[in-house]
Structure 1
Amino acid sequence: MTTTRHDKALQFRALHERPGAFVIPNPWDAGSARALAGMGFEALATSSGASAAVLGKRDGQVTLEEALAHLRAVVGATELPVAADLEKGFADAPADVARNIMLAAQTGIVGGSIEDATGDDTNPLFDIGFAAERVAAAAEAARALPFPFTLTARTENHLRGRNDLDDTIARLQAFERAGADVLFAPGLPSLEAVRAVCQAVKKPVNFMAGIPGKSFSVAELQAAGVKRISLATSLYRVAMTAMREAAHEVKEQGTFTYLNRL
Protein backbone atom coordinates (compact mmCIF):
# COMPACT_ATOMS: atom_id res chain seq x y z
CA MET A 1 0.00 0.00 0.00
CA THR A 2 1.35 3.40 -0.99
CA THR A 3 1.97 5.77 1.89
CA THR A 4 0.69 9.30 1.32
CA ARG A 5 3.09 12.17 1.64
CA HIS A 6 1.12 13.55 4.57
CA ASP A 7 1.57 10.22 6.35
CA LYS A 8 5.29 10.24 5.55
CA ALA A 9 5.58 13.75 6.92
CA LEU A 10 3.88 12.70 10.14
CA GLN A 11 6.15 9.65 10.38
CA PHE A 12 9.19 11.86 9.95
CA ARG A 13 8.00 14.36 12.53
CA ALA A 14 7.29 11.53 14.97
CA LEU A 15 10.90 10.32 14.75
CA HIS A 16 11.95 13.68 16.19
CA GLU A 17 9.40 13.50 19.00
CA ARG A 18 9.94 10.00 20.35
CA PRO A 19 12.56 9.21 23.01
CA GLY A 20 16.13 8.52 21.96
CA ALA A 21 18.13 9.27 18.83
CA PHE A 22 17.70 7.92 15.32
CA VAL A 23 20.09 7.58 12.38
CA ILE A 24 19.14 9.05 9.02
CA PRO A 25 21.55 7.76 6.34
CA ASN A 26 22.32 9.69 3.18
CA PRO A 27 21.94 7.83 -0.13
CA TRP A 28 23.57 9.26 -3.22
CA ASP A 29 21.13 7.94 -5.82
CA ALA A 30 17.93 5.95 -6.25
CA GLY A 31 19.70 2.59 -6.00
CA SER A 32 21.45 3.38 -2.73
CA ALA A 33 18.18 4.81 -1.40
CA ARG A 34 16.41 1.53 -2.11
CA ALA A 35 19.24 -0.46 -0.55
CA LEU A 36 19.18 1.60 2.66
CA ALA A 37 15.41 1.37 2.86
CA GLY A 38 15.69 -2.40 2.61
CA MET A 39 18.03 -2.43 5.60
CA GLY A 40 15.34 -1.12 7.90
CA PHE A 41 16.21 2.56 8.27
CA GLU A 42 13.18 4.71 9.01
CA ALA A 43 13.98 7.79 6.94
CA LEU A 44 16.54 9.02 4.43
CA ALA A 45 18.20 12.33 3.67
CA THR A 46 20.05 13.51 0.61
CA SER A 47 23.60 14.86 0.76
CA SER A 48 24.56 17.81 -1.41
CA GLY A 49 28.15 16.59 -1.53
CA ALA A 50 27.25 13.07 -2.58
CA SER A 51 24.67 14.16 -5.13
CA ALA A 52 27.19 16.59 -6.62
CA ALA A 53 29.83 13.86 -6.85
CA VAL A 54 27.44 11.59 -8.73
CA LEU A 55 27.22 14.34 -11.35
CA GLY A 56 30.97 14.78 -11.43
CA LYS A 57 30.72 18.15 -9.68
CA ARG A 58 31.96 19.69 -6.46
CA ASP A 59 29.63 20.38 -3.57
CA GLY A 60 27.87 23.68 -4.15
CA GLN A 61 28.03 23.48 -7.95
CA VAL A 62 24.75 21.64 -8.51
CA THR A 63 21.97 23.74 -10.01
CA LEU A 64 18.49 23.94 -8.55
CA GLU A 65 17.11 22.00 -11.51
CA GLU A 66 19.69 19.23 -11.03
CA ALA A 67 18.94 19.09 -7.32
CA LEU A 68 15.20 18.81 -7.93
CA ALA A 69 15.75 15.96 -10.40
CA HIS A 70 17.91 14.17 -7.84
CA LEU A 71 15.24 14.57 -5.17
CA ARG A 72 12.57 13.16 -7.44
CA ALA A 73 14.73 10.12 -8.17
CA VAL A 74 15.44 9.39 -4.50
CA VAL A 75 11.84 9.96 -3.40
CA GLY A 76 10.60 7.75 -6.21
CA ALA A 77 12.82 4.86 -5.13
CA THR A 78 11.39 4.37 -1.64
CA GLU A 79 8.32 4.67 0.54
CA LEU A 80 10.41 6.14 3.35
CA PRO A 81 10.23 9.80 4.32
CA VAL A 82 12.99 11.75 2.56
CA ALA A 83 14.53 15.01 3.72
CA ALA A 84 16.67 17.15 1.45
CA ASP A 85 20.00 18.90 1.80
CA LEU A 86 18.98 22.16 0.12
CA GLU A 87 22.32 23.88 0.75
CA LYS A 88 21.67 27.64 1.08
CA GLY A 89 18.30 27.29 -0.63
CA PHE A 90 19.89 27.89 -4.04
CA ALA A 91 19.42 31.61 -3.43
CA ASP A 92 20.47 34.50 -1.23
CA ALA A 93 17.33 36.58 -0.87
CA PRO A 94 14.79 35.30 1.69
CA ALA A 95 11.93 35.46 -0.82
CA ASP A 96 13.87 33.33 -3.28
CA VAL A 97 14.73 30.81 -0.56
CA ALA A 98 11.02 30.58 0.28
CA ARG A 99 10.15 30.01 -3.38
CA ASN A 100 12.72 27.24 -3.66
CA ILE A 101 11.38 25.52 -0.55
CA MET A 102 8.02 25.35 -2.31
CA LEU A 103 9.63 24.00 -5.49
CA ALA A 104 11.59 21.37 -3.57
CA ALA A 105 8.46 20.30 -1.73
CA GLN A 106 6.86 19.41 -5.07
CA THR A 107 9.40 16.58 -5.50
CA GLY A 108 7.86 14.60 -2.64
CA ILE A 109 10.30 15.39 0.18
CA VAL A 110 8.92 15.92 3.68
CA GLY A 111 11.71 18.08 5.07
CA GLY A 112 14.83 19.97 4.16
CA SER A 113 17.71 22.04 5.47
CA ILE A 114 18.79 25.62 4.85
CA GLU A 115 22.32 26.70 5.74
CA ASP A 116 24.00 30.04 6.35
CA ALA A 117 26.98 29.53 4.00
CA THR A 118 27.19 32.13 1.25
CA GLY A 119 29.28 30.18 -1.24
CA ASP A 120 31.79 33.07 -1.25
CA ASP A 121 35.16 32.10 0.24
CA THR A 122 35.96 35.73 1.06
CA ASN A 123 32.77 36.07 3.11
CA PRO A 124 31.74 32.51 3.91
CA LEU A 125 28.74 33.10 6.19
CA PHE A 126 25.72 35.33 6.00
CA ASP A 127 25.38 37.86 8.80
CA ILE A 128 23.45 36.29 11.66
CA GLY A 129 20.50 38.64 11.26
CA PHE A 130 20.17 38.06 7.53
CA ALA A 131 20.70 34.33 8.01
CA ALA A 132 17.80 34.29 10.46
CA GLU A 133 15.63 36.21 7.96
CA ARG A 134 16.33 33.51 5.40
CA VAL A 135 15.31 30.80 7.88
CA ALA A 136 12.16 32.74 8.77
CA ALA A 137 11.19 32.96 5.10
CA ALA A 138 11.83 29.24 4.65
CA ALA A 139 9.75 28.48 7.76
CA GLU A 140 6.88 30.60 6.48
CA ALA A 141 6.94 28.75 3.18
CA ALA A 142 7.08 25.41 4.97
CA ARG A 143 4.06 26.29 7.11
CA ALA A 144 2.09 27.13 3.97
CA LEU A 145 2.47 23.58 2.62
CA PRO A 146 -0.42 21.11 2.99
CA PHE A 147 1.66 18.75 5.11
CA PRO A 148 4.02 19.21 8.10
CA PHE A 149 7.33 19.98 6.42
CA THR A 150 10.24 19.61 8.86
CA LEU A 151 12.63 22.52 8.36
CA THR A 152 16.24 22.14 9.50
CA ALA A 153 18.42 25.23 9.89
CA ARG A 154 22.18 24.75 9.94
CA THR A 155 25.16 26.95 10.60
CA GLU A 156 28.35 26.17 8.73
CA ASN A 157 30.68 27.84 11.26
CA HIS A 158 32.79 24.78 11.99
CA LEU A 159 33.04 23.75 8.34
CA ARG A 160 34.11 27.22 7.23
CA GLY A 161 36.96 27.84 9.65
CA ARG A 162 34.97 29.79 12.23
CA ASN A 163 35.43 27.59 15.28
CA ASP A 164 33.47 29.87 17.61
CA LEU A 165 31.08 27.77 19.67
CA ASP A 166 29.42 30.81 21.23
CA ASP A 167 28.62 32.21 17.78
CA THR A 168 27.44 28.78 16.64
CA ILE A 169 25.02 28.60 19.55
CA ALA A 170 23.85 32.18 18.99
CA ARG A 171 23.11 31.38 15.36
CA LEU A 172 21.20 28.21 16.21
CA GLN A 173 19.19 30.08 18.83
CA ALA A 174 18.36 32.75 16.25
CA PHE A 175 17.28 30.07 13.79
CA GLU A 176 15.14 28.46 16.47
CA ARG A 177 13.37 31.77 17.09
CA ALA A 178 12.95 32.16 13.33
CA GLY A 179 10.89 28.97 13.16
CA ALA A 180 13.25 26.09 12.40
CA ASP A 181 12.06 22.66 13.54
CA VAL A 182 15.53 21.07 13.78
CA LEU A 183 18.93 22.67 14.41
CA PHE A 184 22.25 21.58 12.97
CA ALA A 185 25.89 22.61 13.30
CA PRO A 186 28.08 20.19 11.31
CA GLY A 187 31.68 19.76 12.37
CA LEU A 188 31.32 20.23 16.12
CA PRO A 189 34.73 19.35 17.57
CA SER A 190 33.85 17.36 20.69
CA LEU A 191 31.11 15.71 22.67
CA GLU A 192 31.33 18.61 25.09
CA ALA A 193 30.50 20.98 22.25
CA VAL A 194 27.66 18.74 21.12
CA ARG A 195 26.28 18.69 24.65
CA ALA A 196 26.55 22.48 24.92
CA VAL A 197 24.59 22.94 21.69
CA CYS A 198 21.87 20.52 22.74
CA GLN A 199 21.50 22.22 26.10
CA ALA A 200 21.33 25.69 24.54
CA VAL A 201 18.29 25.04 22.33
CA LYS A 202 14.86 23.50 22.78
CA LYS A 203 14.36 22.05 19.29
CA PRO A 204 15.83 18.68 18.19
CA VAL A 205 19.49 18.72 17.16
CA ASN A 206 20.98 16.91 14.17
CA PHE A 207 24.58 15.69 14.39
CA MET A 208 26.60 14.90 11.28
CA ALA A 209 28.81 11.82 11.50
CA GLY A 210 31.46 11.49 8.83
CA ILE A 211 34.47 13.53 9.94
CA PRO A 212 37.37 11.43 11.33
CA GLY A 213 38.00 12.32 14.96
CA LYS A 214 34.76 14.27 15.15
CA SER A 215 32.28 11.40 14.84
CA PHE A 216 30.95 9.72 17.94
CA SER A 217 28.84 6.66 18.66
CA VAL A 218 25.06 6.70 18.59
CA ALA A 219 25.04 5.98 22.33
CA GLU A 220 27.41 8.87 23.07
CA LEU A 221 25.46 11.29 20.91
CA GLN A 222 22.14 10.23 22.40
CA ALA A 223 23.53 10.77 25.91
CA ALA A 224 24.67 14.25 24.84
CA GLY A 225 21.13 15.12 23.77
CA VAL A 226 21.25 14.58 20.00
CA LYS A 227 18.00 13.52 18.35
CA ARG A 228 19.01 12.86 14.73
CA ILE A 229 22.30 11.54 13.32
CA SER A 230 23.07 11.97 9.62
CA LEU A 231 25.99 10.47 7.74
CA ALA A 232 26.71 13.15 5.10
CA THR A 233 28.87 11.84 2.23
CA SER A 234 30.48 9.06 4.28
CA LEU A 235 28.56 6.13 2.77
CA TYR A 236 29.25 7.41 -0.72
CA ARG A 237 32.94 7.77 0.13
CA VAL A 238 33.03 4.19 1.45
CA ALA A 239 31.47 2.93 -1.78
CA MET A 240 33.89 4.89 -3.96
CA THR A 241 36.86 3.72 -1.88
CA ALA A 242 35.85 0.09 -2.47
CA MET A 243 35.43 0.76 -6.19
CA ARG A 244 38.87 2.36 -6.48
CA GLU A 245 40.52 -0.47 -4.58
CA ALA A 246 38.91 -3.08 -6.83
CA ALA A 247 39.77 -1.18 -9.99
CA HIS A 248 43.36 -0.67 -8.77
CA GLU A 249 43.71 -4.42 -8.24
CA VAL A 250 42.50 -5.15 -11.77
CA LYS A 251 44.69 -2.51 -13.39
CA GLU A 252 47.89 -3.06 -11.41
CA GLN A 253 47.76 -6.78 -10.60
CA GLY A 254 45.46 -8.26 -13.21
CA THR A 255 43.55 -10.18 -10.55
CA PHE A 256 39.97 -10.15 -9.37
CA THR A 257 40.10 -11.18 -5.72
CA TYR A 258 37.70 -8.39 -4.87
CA LEU A 259 34.99 -10.64 -6.32
CA ASN A 260 35.43 -12.94 -3.33
CA ARG A 261 34.25 -10.13 -1.04
CA LEU A 262 30.96 -9.59 -2.82
Structure 2
Amino acid sequence: MSSPILSVRNLCVTVPTPTGPLEAVRGIDLSVARGETLGIVGESGCGKSVSSLALMRLLPSFIKVDADAMELCGIELLHRTERQMADLRGDRIAMIFQEPMTALNPVLTVGRQMTETYLRHRRAGRREARERAVDLLVRVGISRAAERMKVYPHQLSGGLRQRVMIAIALLCDPDLLIADEPTTALDVTVQAQILDLLADLQRERGLAMIFISHDLGVVARVSHRVQVMFSGQTVDAGPMRELLVHPRHPYTRALLSCIPRRGQRWGKDKLGAEQEASA
Protein backbone atom coordinates (compact mmCIF):
# COMPACT_ATOMS: atom_id res chain seq x y z
CA MET A 1 0.00 0.00 0.00
CA SER A 2 1.17 3.54 -0.76
CA SER A 3 2.20 5.94 1.99
CA PRO A 4 -0.80 7.30 3.91
CA ILE A 5 -2.46 10.59 3.01
CA LEU A 6 -3.54 10.91 6.65
CA SER A 7 -1.57 9.63 9.62
CA VAL A 8 -2.85 10.08 13.17
CA ARG A 9 -1.39 8.52 16.32
CA ASN A 10 -2.89 8.62 19.81
CA LEU A 11 -5.58 11.24 19.16
CA CYS A 12 -7.21 12.40 22.40
CA VAL A 13 -10.06 14.88 22.80
CA THR A 14 -10.90 16.18 26.28
CA VAL A 15 -14.02 18.24 27.08
CA PRO A 16 -14.23 20.24 30.32
CA THR A 17 -17.43 19.63 32.31
CA PRO A 18 -18.72 20.81 35.72
CA THR A 19 -17.75 17.44 37.18
CA GLY A 20 -14.28 17.35 35.63
CA PRO A 21 -12.59 16.58 32.29
CA LEU A 22 -14.42 14.17 29.99
CA GLU A 23 -12.27 12.11 27.62
CA ALA A 24 -14.52 12.07 24.54
CA VAL A 25 -11.83 10.38 22.41
CA ARG A 26 -8.97 8.30 23.84
CA GLY A 27 -5.91 7.08 21.96
CA ILE A 28 -7.32 6.83 18.44
CA ASP A 29 -4.97 5.89 15.57
CA LEU A 30 -6.00 6.60 11.98
CA SER A 31 -4.30 5.94 8.66
CA VAL A 32 -5.77 6.37 5.16
CA ALA A 33 -3.97 5.86 1.85
CA ARG A 34 -4.81 7.40 -1.53
CA GLY A 35 -7.71 5.58 -3.15
CA GLU A 36 -8.70 3.92 0.13
CA THR A 37 -11.89 4.28 2.16
CA LEU A 38 -11.68 3.88 5.92
CA GLY A 39 -15.00 3.27 7.62
CA ILE A 40 -15.54 4.43 11.21
CA VAL A 41 -18.60 2.89 12.84
CA GLY A 42 -20.17 3.05 16.27
CA GLU A 43 -23.24 4.16 18.17
CA SER A 44 -24.20 7.81 18.68
CA GLY A 45 -21.92 9.51 21.21
CA CYS A 46 -18.97 7.14 20.77
CA GLY A 47 -16.67 9.87 19.41
CA LYS A 48 -16.90 9.41 15.62
CA SER A 49 -17.89 12.95 14.67
CA VAL A 50 -15.73 14.50 17.41
CA SER A 51 -12.71 12.74 15.92
CA SER A 52 -13.45 14.07 12.44
CA LEU A 53 -13.99 17.61 13.71
CA ALA A 54 -10.70 17.35 15.58
CA LEU A 55 -8.97 16.45 12.29
CA MET A 56 -10.57 19.48 10.63
CA ARG A 57 -9.65 21.62 13.66
CA LEU A 58 -13.27 22.76 13.93
CA LEU A 59 -13.88 22.01 17.62
CA PRO A 60 -14.40 24.95 20.03
CA SER A 61 -11.21 26.33 21.55
CA PHE A 62 -12.14 25.20 25.09
CA ILE A 63 -11.96 21.56 23.96
CA LYS A 64 -8.44 20.15 24.22
CA VAL A 65 -7.13 18.17 21.25
CA ASP A 66 -3.84 16.31 21.56
CA ALA A 67 -1.99 13.68 19.53
CA ASP A 68 1.46 12.19 19.11
CA ALA A 69 1.11 12.86 15.37
CA MET A 70 -1.62 14.32 13.13
CA GLU A 71 -0.37 14.77 9.57
CA LEU A 72 -2.03 15.26 6.18
CA CYS A 73 0.32 14.62 3.23
CA GLY A 74 3.22 15.26 5.58
CA ILE A 75 1.71 18.55 6.80
CA GLU A 76 1.41 18.74 10.59
CA LEU A 77 -2.14 19.78 11.54
CA LEU A 78 -2.24 19.95 15.32
CA HIS A 79 -0.35 23.19 15.85
CA ARG A 80 -1.22 25.11 12.69
CA THR A 81 -2.82 28.52 13.11
CA GLU A 82 -6.47 29.10 12.21
CA ARG A 83 -5.43 30.96 9.07
CA GLN A 84 -3.18 28.10 8.02
CA MET A 85 -5.99 25.61 8.60
CA ALA A 86 -8.38 27.77 6.59
CA ASP A 87 -5.96 27.44 3.66
CA LEU A 88 -6.18 23.63 3.94
CA ARG A 89 -9.92 23.22 4.57
CA GLY A 90 -11.82 22.88 1.32
CA ASP A 91 -8.55 22.55 -0.58
CA ARG A 92 -6.45 19.64 0.75
CA ILE A 93 -9.04 18.28 3.22
CA ALA A 94 -12.82 18.56 2.88
CA MET A 95 -15.83 17.34 4.81
CA ILE A 96 -19.40 16.37 3.98
CA PHE A 97 -21.25 17.35 7.13
CA GLN A 98 -23.97 15.28 8.74
CA GLU A 99 -26.88 17.68 8.13
CA PRO A 100 -26.67 19.79 4.94
CA MET A 101 -29.60 22.02 5.96
CA THR A 102 -27.56 23.40 8.86
CA ALA A 103 -24.16 23.21 7.12
CA LEU A 104 -25.28 25.22 4.07
CA ASN A 105 -25.84 28.96 4.48
CA PRO A 106 -29.61 29.58 4.20
CA VAL A 107 -29.27 33.18 2.95
CA LEU A 108 -26.82 32.45 0.10
CA THR A 109 -27.65 30.72 -3.17
CA VAL A 110 -26.09 27.38 -4.02
CA GLY A 111 -24.03 29.07 -6.73
CA ARG A 112 -22.69 31.74 -4.38
CA GLN A 113 -21.58 29.17 -1.82
CA MET A 114 -19.87 27.03 -4.43
CA THR A 115 -18.05 29.78 -6.30
CA GLU A 116 -16.82 31.37 -3.05
CA THR A 117 -15.09 28.12 -2.11
CA TYR A 118 -13.35 27.87 -5.49
CA LEU A 119 -12.38 31.52 -5.57
CA ARG A 120 -10.93 31.29 -2.05
CA HIS A 121 -8.55 28.46 -2.88
CA ARG A 122 -7.89 28.73 -6.60
CA ARG A 123 -7.88 32.51 -7.06
CA ALA A 124 -9.60 32.00 -10.40
CA GLY A 125 -12.00 34.30 -12.23
CA ARG A 126 -15.72 34.16 -11.51
CA ARG A 127 -16.49 32.68 -14.91
CA GLU A 128 -14.11 29.78 -14.32
CA ALA A 129 -15.49 29.29 -10.81
CA ARG A 130 -19.06 29.18 -12.11
CA GLU A 131 -18.17 26.70 -14.87
CA ARG A 132 -16.42 24.50 -12.32
CA ALA A 133 -19.43 24.63 -9.96
CA VAL A 134 -21.92 23.75 -12.71
CA ASP A 135 -19.69 20.89 -13.86
CA LEU A 136 -19.54 19.44 -10.33
CA LEU A 137 -23.32 19.73 -9.88
CA VAL A 138 -23.78 17.78 -13.10
CA ARG A 139 -21.20 15.22 -11.97
CA VAL A 140 -23.04 14.55 -8.72
CA GLY A 141 -26.27 13.94 -10.61
CA ILE A 142 -28.14 17.25 -10.30
CA SER A 143 -30.23 18.04 -13.36
CA ARG A 144 -30.65 21.62 -14.65
CA ALA A 145 -27.45 22.47 -12.82
CA ALA A 146 -27.19 26.04 -14.16
CA GLU A 147 -30.70 26.80 -12.87
CA ARG A 148 -30.04 25.17 -9.49
CA MET A 149 -27.11 27.55 -8.99
CA LYS A 150 -29.69 30.30 -8.43
CA VAL A 151 -31.75 28.58 -5.74
CA TYR A 152 -31.41 28.59 -1.95
CA PRO A 153 -30.83 25.42 0.12
CA HIS A 154 -34.39 25.32 1.50
CA GLN A 155 -35.72 25.08 -2.06
CA LEU A 156 -34.02 21.73 -2.57
CA SER A 157 -34.93 18.27 -1.33
CA GLY A 158 -32.77 16.50 1.26
CA GLY A 159 -31.16 14.33 -1.40
CA LEU A 160 -30.30 17.34 -3.59
CA ARG A 161 -28.88 19.27 -0.62
CA GLN A 162 -26.65 16.31 0.16
CA ARG A 163 -25.45 16.23 -3.46
CA VAL A 164 -24.68 19.95 -3.26
CA MET A 165 -22.61 19.30 -0.13
CA ILE A 166 -20.67 16.59 -1.98
CA ALA A 167 -20.08 18.92 -4.93
CA ILE A 168 -18.78 21.69 -2.64
CA ALA A 169 -16.45 19.24 -0.91
CA LEU A 170 -15.01 18.10 -4.25
CA LEU A 171 -14.63 21.53 -5.87
CA CYS A 172 -10.90 21.82 -5.26
CA ASP A 173 -10.00 18.12 -5.61
CA PRO A 174 -9.03 17.51 -1.96
CA ASP A 175 -6.56 14.80 -0.97
CA LEU A 176 -8.81 13.63 1.89
CA LEU A 177 -12.61 13.61 2.04
CA ILE A 178 -14.40 13.05 5.35
CA ALA A 179 -18.04 11.95 4.97
CA ASP A 180 -19.83 12.25 8.31
CA GLU A 181 -23.07 10.21 8.14
CA PRO A 182 -23.82 11.53 4.63
CA THR A 183 -26.95 9.39 4.22
CA THR A 184 -28.64 10.11 7.56
CA ALA A 185 -32.37 10.92 7.22
CA LEU A 186 -32.44 10.00 3.51
CA ASP A 187 -34.81 7.36 2.18
CA VAL A 188 -33.24 4.07 1.12
CA THR A 189 -33.36 4.84 -2.61
CA VAL A 190 -31.59 8.18 -2.27
CA GLN A 191 -29.21 6.62 0.27
CA ALA A 192 -28.16 3.99 -2.26
CA GLN A 193 -27.64 6.67 -4.93
CA ILE A 194 -25.43 8.75 -2.61
CA LEU A 195 -23.33 5.72 -1.61
CA ASP A 196 -22.84 4.71 -5.25
CA LEU A 197 -21.94 8.29 -6.15
CA LEU A 198 -19.31 8.54 -3.39
CA ALA A 199 -17.80 5.19 -4.37
CA ASP A 200 -17.61 6.22 -8.04
CA LEU A 201 -16.06 9.61 -7.26
CA GLN A 202 -13.58 8.03 -4.87
CA ARG A 203 -12.38 5.57 -7.50
CA GLU A 204 -12.37 8.17 -10.28
CA ARG A 205 -10.34 10.76 -8.36
CA GLY A 206 -8.20 8.50 -6.20
CA LEU A 207 -9.48 10.17 -3.04
CA ALA A 208 -8.56 9.05 0.42
CA MET A 209 -11.90 8.93 2.24
CA ILE A 210 -13.10 8.49 5.80
CA PHE A 211 -16.72 7.33 5.92
CA ILE A 212 -18.44 7.74 9.30
CA SER A 213 -21.70 6.03 10.21
CA HIS A 214 -23.56 4.27 13.01
CA ASP A 215 -24.73 1.71 10.43
CA LEU A 216 -22.25 -1.12 9.91
CA GLY A 217 -24.17 -2.30 6.85
CA VAL A 218 -23.72 1.07 5.14
CA VAL A 219 -20.03 1.21 6.07
CA ALA A 220 -19.50 -2.30 4.70
CA ARG A 221 -20.83 -1.19 1.33
CA VAL A 222 -18.20 1.49 0.71
CA SER A 223 -15.16 0.77 2.92
CA HIS A 224 -11.92 -1.14 2.41
CA ARG A 225 -11.01 -1.08 6.11
CA VAL A 226 -13.09 -0.36 9.19
CA GLN A 227 -12.56 0.81 12.76
CA VAL A 228 -15.25 0.17 15.35
CA MET A 229 -15.51 2.79 18.08
CA PHE A 230 -17.08 2.42 21.50
CA SER A 231 -16.95 4.92 24.35
CA GLY A 232 -14.29 7.07 22.70
CA GLN A 233 -11.93 4.20 21.82
CA THR A 234 -11.22 1.91 18.90
CA VAL A 235 -12.29 -1.58 20.02
CA ASP A 236 -11.96 -3.43 16.71
CA ALA A 237 -10.27 -2.78 13.36
CA GLY A 238 -9.24 -4.55 10.19
CA PRO A 239 -10.07 -5.17 6.54
CA MET A 240 -13.82 -4.87 5.96
CA ARG A 241 -14.45 -8.43 4.77
CA GLU A 242 -12.28 -9.95 7.49
CA LEU A 243 -14.06 -8.05 10.23
CA LEU A 244 -17.48 -9.07 8.91
CA VAL A 245 -16.52 -12.74 8.93
CA HIS A 246 -14.35 -12.80 12.06
CA PRO A 247 -15.29 -9.95 14.43
CA ARG A 248 -13.00 -9.99 17.45
CA HIS A 249 -14.75 -7.71 19.94
CA PRO A 250 -18.13 -8.48 21.58
CA TYR A 251 -19.39 -4.99 20.63
CA THR A 252 -18.62 -5.66 16.95
CA ARG A 253 -20.46 -8.97 17.14
CA ALA A 254 -23.41 -7.17 18.75
CA LEU A 255 -23.48 -4.60 15.93
CA LEU A 256 -23.44 -7.35 13.32
CA SER A 257 -26.24 -9.24 15.05
CA CYS A 258 -28.43 -6.12 14.94
CA ILE A 259 -28.38 -5.87 11.14
CA PRO A 260 -31.87 -6.92 9.92
CA ARG A 261 -31.82 -10.06 7.78
CA ARG A 262 -34.12 -11.21 5.01
CA GLY A 263 -36.72 -13.60 6.36
CA GLN A 264 -36.51 -12.25 9.90
CA ARG A 265 -39.88 -12.61 11.64
CA TRP A 266 -40.81 -9.27 13.11
CA GLY A 267 -42.50 -9.58 16.48
CA LYS A 268 -40.90 -12.98 17.12
CA ASP A 269 -37.22 -12.44 16.28
CA LYS A 270 -35.43 -9.80 18.31
CA LEU A 271 -32.58 -7.73 16.92
CA GLY A 272 -29.44 -8.76 18.73
CA ALA A 273 -31.04 -11.95 20.07
CA GLU A 274 -28.30 -14.10 18.58
CA GLN A 275 -25.65 -12.07 20.36
CA GLU A 276 -27.58 -12.20 23.64
CA ALA A 277 -27.84 -15.97 23.37
CA SER A 278 -24.11 -16.36 22.86
CA ALA A 279 -23.14 -13.93 25.63
TM-score interval for Structure 1 and Structure 2 normalised by the shorter chain: 0.3 to 0.5
> TM-score when scaled to structure 2?
0.35
Name the one with the larger strand percent.
Answer: 2
**Bigger radius of gyration:** 2
Name the one with the larger helix percent.
Answer: 1
Between the two structures, name the one with larger relative contact order (CA 8 Å, sep ≥ 6): 2
